[in-house]
A and B are shown apart, each in its own frame.
Chain A
């Protein structure tokens, strides 16, 4: 008998908490043993000894490692991520400030990546004459991400002037909204100009992030489809006279979706790395930019805070993917 859903959810949640604590500990220790002095980083090299000592005390650097970690976990349980040594703001507030930009960018990139990925997989099957489009996409996506970003920026912004080369929105168009997701805020508040402007700004960074996702998902889906399309039930469907498009939609895609879904999870994890580069190149004020800045400043609370957000996002997405795989293939639910 398979276990009940609440029990599965509870087990997953317990796993999630354990993984988060372990990950927090590893990052915490790594940051502590790295050379550098967060107190000096916060105050500057020439700050007085009194102010450095006060900052050390405030950062608990005079306490043993395990004590500090314990205090950190206690504060974390209360939703307190500490104060950034770099910006002097609560880390939670900084994350709330920077997260919407990253959520919007990653959401757009994932959606675009999936659409392009499906196109990469289906074009050779449905329209063999346009197979060259797939190769163009693969060629562009094979370049290092910073090169892709610079190339797209150079062509579509600098040379052609078609799309903005950086930032989230033209300042004159900006209107504050409830979600801080510009496209959505424009729709919710009726400022369609804002949504349109935000979409234009999203285009290049989202495309840059989407290309590796598209190629990975596309190639995995294509391989899975190739196998599935040779199965007996597909031959039966063909023998019944069903058109290829219907066979693909009703029978092949669902059975071939398992591997691309796993790949989607992997690409989501890789996207965090690419996010750091893309946000820097496109002046995108998101968590990737914040993380790079915090890391350079030995800002431990900020680095830990962003790492936790990324970890939670990844673990939640992995759980969703597992659930989706179980829905697609009931045999997996029994494992």
Chain B
């Protein structure tokens, strides 16, 4: 045998020695999931999470929450509550027996100490409580919040996945540091939920371990192992190979019909509606041209071709899970008239933009819109921008894309939170500075209505006004799709919990 053959043989032996058989099956009571991105911080008051929300809500608990599968508010740490006739005083009666992970009891005084922290203006999510005038704890289990003015969104803000989640005194006092415990809470927790955060390795993995002293029903899984797997294709291979139990998001729609028999997919409506924001400061200054664009973008013309049944045409500017409008918006249907307007106007070229973070879905939608616009003689190109640059579009609308595709999530399931963020003059994601005083007045009036049916009618009137102005175009309700192992059940998905299952209810059959 030549020296070269010996060398090759040696290399092959080394490769075979490195090689191992497939990894053994995971233990029965461990749930393996993955995030494509790191969790910025597990501090419930200082980070706007998408990845990590479902983990946060089993470490911490708030006063109220949304029921699984609905947008109905139900008790959580609060077993009951009442609202005063002037709609300014909320009185919560806490469950007796709940304990923080530091061992101390959940009392009204502890809840109040936490709410005071949450209201600190330097914390990112403090604005959830910006209408709170005062708080008190008249007895061990009664917590009272007094508002400055009636606020119909208040209870929804408390139930929001980004809403207040009570932190124990072990963190607030024991690890306060100089930043209200912020540094410690980035990578640790002191909640009262069914799981404790027992490992935080930034960029690599997090482990949640069941709290044996949890005050409520015992969850099925002993451990939740969350790996950071940035590549969606790698996540797909992992879930197909059995290395992951649940793939929270990103599985391509067109491959969902070809899942192996040991995998299932479920879609649910969340609060992120696909819409197009129209920039009136540049190529679409002319209202007639905007009307032509609106005609071309009618989702009925392109939505059926895509998303493999996981999307339906939007019925209003609110996601279906928030308000299921009885009368859907009606797009103009005269394509010939739209073509004539474009022909009379001369060559029109539009730019369609979207935030890079939502890349996979938006790229697909944007390409469909390019084809739709071509039908009336408008050419269009697509661009993506880093998501954090979106609010900056307001500073230079003349140079911004003509249409901006967005699937942003409002703070809660109340339509007021959608209007506050997108539609009102000066709202943070009103990217093209849309301003209509009559719409602002309608938003102000709707915010005072407490009856749900009347409230929804008022907000739908706002949607109609915005649609008539061709400022915001509702396109589609695209479902959140979760791919999971077939032996799992009771996923506990909620419209207000994007990309998430409920670790407290999910179990193996």
* Residue of chain A at shortest CB distance from B390: A45
B48: Cβ under 8 A from any A Cβ: yes
Name 14 A/B residue pairs within 8 A (Cβ), A-sorted.
Answer: A35-B389, A42-B124, A47-B48, A48-B126, A48-B130, A51-B124, A51-B127, A87-B41, A87-B186, A133-B8, A164-B23, A166-B227, A283-B204, A289-B230
* Residue of chain B at shortest CB distance from A40: B391
Chain A nearest CB, measured from B392 CB (Å): 5
* Residue of chain B at shortest CB distance from A98: B203
B241 adjacent to A158 (CB under 8 Å): yes
Chain B nearest CB, measured from A33 CB (Å): 12
B-side contacts of A94, CB under 8 Å: 202
B335: Cβ under 8 A from any A Cβ: no
Given known pairs A44-B124, A46-B421, A163-B19, the reply for A296 and B356 (CB within 8 Å) is yes
B392 adjacent to A35 (CB under 8 Å): yes
A-side contacts of B398, CB under 8 Å: none
Chain A nearest CB, measured from B204 CB (Å): 4
A-side contacts of B429, CB under 8 Å: 45-46
The contact of A50 among B122, B182, B229, B391, by CB within 8 Å, is: B122
A88 adjacent to B183 (CB under 8 Å): yes
B234 adjacent to A37 (CB under 8 Å): no
Given known pairs A87-B41, A127-B4, A298-B389, the reply for A48 and B357 (CB within 8 Å) is no
CA distance A290 to B203 in the complex (A): 7
CA distance A83 to B297 in the complex (A): 44
CA distance A95 to B123 in the complex (A): 25
A168: Cβ under 8 A from any B Cβ: yes
Within 8 A of A (CB), among B107-165: 121-127, 130
A-side contacts of B240, CB under 8 Å: 158
A161 adjacent to B22 (CB under 8 Å): yes
A-side contacts of B127, CB under 8 Å: 46-48, 51
A54 adjacent to B234 (CB under 8 Å): no
The contact of A280 among B205, B230, B392, by CB within 8 Å, is: B230
Given known pairs A37-B392, A88-B182, the reply for A283 and B122 (CB within 8 Å) is no
B388 adjacent to A37 (CB under 8 Å): yes
Given known pairs A88-B183, A199-B18, A289-B203, the reply for A43 and B40 (CB within 8 Å) is no
Given known pairs A88-B183, A88-B186, the reply for A51 and B203 (CB within 8 Å) is no
Contact string against B for A residues 44-75, beta-carbon threshold 8 Å, 1 for contact and 0 otherwise: 11111011001000000000000000000000
Within 8 A of A (CB), among B23-74: 23, 37-38, 40-41, 46-48
A86 adjacent to B40 (CB under 8 Å): yes
A-side contacts of B237, CB under 8 Å: 153-154, 157-158, 165
A107: Cβ under 8 A from any B Cβ: no
* Residue of chain B at shortest CB distance from A90: B183
A127 adjacent to B2 (CB under 8 Å): yes
The contact of B4 among A40, A86, A126, A282, by CB within 8 Å, is: A126
B229 adjacent to A283 (CB under 8 Å): yes
A50 adjacent to B389 (CB under 8 Å): no
Chain B nearest CB, measured from A242 CB (Å): 17
B342: Cβ under 8 A from any A Cβ: no
The contact of A51 among B15, B22, B121, B421, by CB within 8 Å, is: B121
B421 adjacent to A88 (CB under 8 Å): no
A223: Cβ under 8 A from any B Cβ: no
A-side contacts of B20, CB under 8 Å: 161-163, 200
B-side contacts of A158, CB under 8 Å: 237, 240-241
B201: Cβ under 8 A from any A Cβ: yes
The contact of A46 among B186, B203, B204, B411, by CB within 8 Å, is: B411
Which interface class (under 10, 10 to 19, 20 to 34, 35 or more) fits B?
Answer: 35 or more
A-side contacts of B356, CB under 8 Å: 296
* Residue of chain A at shortest CB distance from B43: A88
A97: Cβ under 8 A from any B Cβ: yes
* Residue of chain A at shortest CB distance from B410: A46
B124 adjacent to A166 (CB under 8 Å): no
A-side contacts of B387, CB under 8 Å: 296
B48 adjacent to A150 (CB under 8 Å): no
B-side contacts of A92, CB under 8 Å: none
A-side contacts of B227, CB under 8 Å: 166-167, 283
Contact string against A for B residues 220-239, beta-carbon threshold 8 Å, 1 for contact and 0 otherwise: 00000101111101100110
A54 adjacent to B390 (CB under 8 Å): no
A-side contacts of B234, CB under 8 Å: 153, 165-166, 281-283
CA distance A240 to B277 in the complex (A): 82
B18 adjacent to A150 (CB under 8 Å): no
Contact string against B for A residues 14-45, beta-carbon threshold 8 Å, 1 for contact and 0 otherwise: 00000000000000000000111110111111
The contact of B41 among A35, A88, A98, by CB within 8 Å, is: A88
A177: Cβ under 8 A from any B Cβ: no
A43 adjacent to B48 (CB under 8 Å): yes
B178: Cβ under 8 A from any A Cβ: no
Which of B4, B202, B228, B234 has the largest count of A CB atoms less than 10 A from its CB?
Answer: B234
A45 adjacent to B391 (CB under 8 Å): yes
B186 adjacent to A168 (CB under 8 Å): no
CA distance A71 to B130 in the complex (A): 35
A-side contacts of B212, CB under 8 Å: none
A293: Cβ under 8 A from any B Cβ: yes
Which of B23, B204, B391, B411 has the largest count of A CB atoms less than 10 A from its CB?
Answer: B204
A144: Cβ under 8 A from any B Cβ: no
B328: Cβ under 8 A from any A Cβ: no
Q: A46-B429, A153-B237, A167-B227 are in contact. List 9 more A-B contacts (CB 8 A).
A: A45-B429, A50-B126, A51-B124, A54-B122, A123-B4, A157-B237, A200-B18, A293-B38, A296-B387
B-side contacts of A157, CB under 8 Å: 237
CA distance A51 to B230 in the complex (A): 30
A-side contacts of B38, CB under 8 Å: 87, 293
A89: Cβ under 8 A from any B Cβ: yes
Contact string against A for B residues 1-22, beta-carbon threshold 8 Å, 1 for contact and 0 otherwise: 0101000100000010011111
B301: Cβ under 8 A from any A Cβ: no
Within 8 A of A (CB), among B377-417: 385-392, 396, 411
CA distance A97 to B228 in the complex (A): 15
* Residue of chain A at shortest CB distance from B187: A89
Chain B nearest CB, measured from A246 CB (Å): 14
B-side contacts of A126, CB under 8 Å: 4
Within 8 A of B (CB), among A273-303: 280-283, 285-286, 289-290, 292-293, 295-298
* Residue of chain B at shortest CB distance from A54: B122
A130: Cβ under 8 A from any B Cβ: yes
CA distance A88 to B184 in the complex (A): 10
A-side contacts of B47, CB under 8 Å: 44
A-side contacts of B444, CB under 8 Å: none
The contact of B125 among A34, A47, A130, by CB within 8 Å, is: A47
A-side contacts of B15, CB under 8 Å: 162
Contact string against B for A residues 158-187, beta-carbon threshold 8 Å, 1 for contact and 0 otherwise: 101111111110110000000000000000
A297 adjacent to B388 (CB under 8 Å): yes
A-side contacts of B333, CB under 8 Å: none
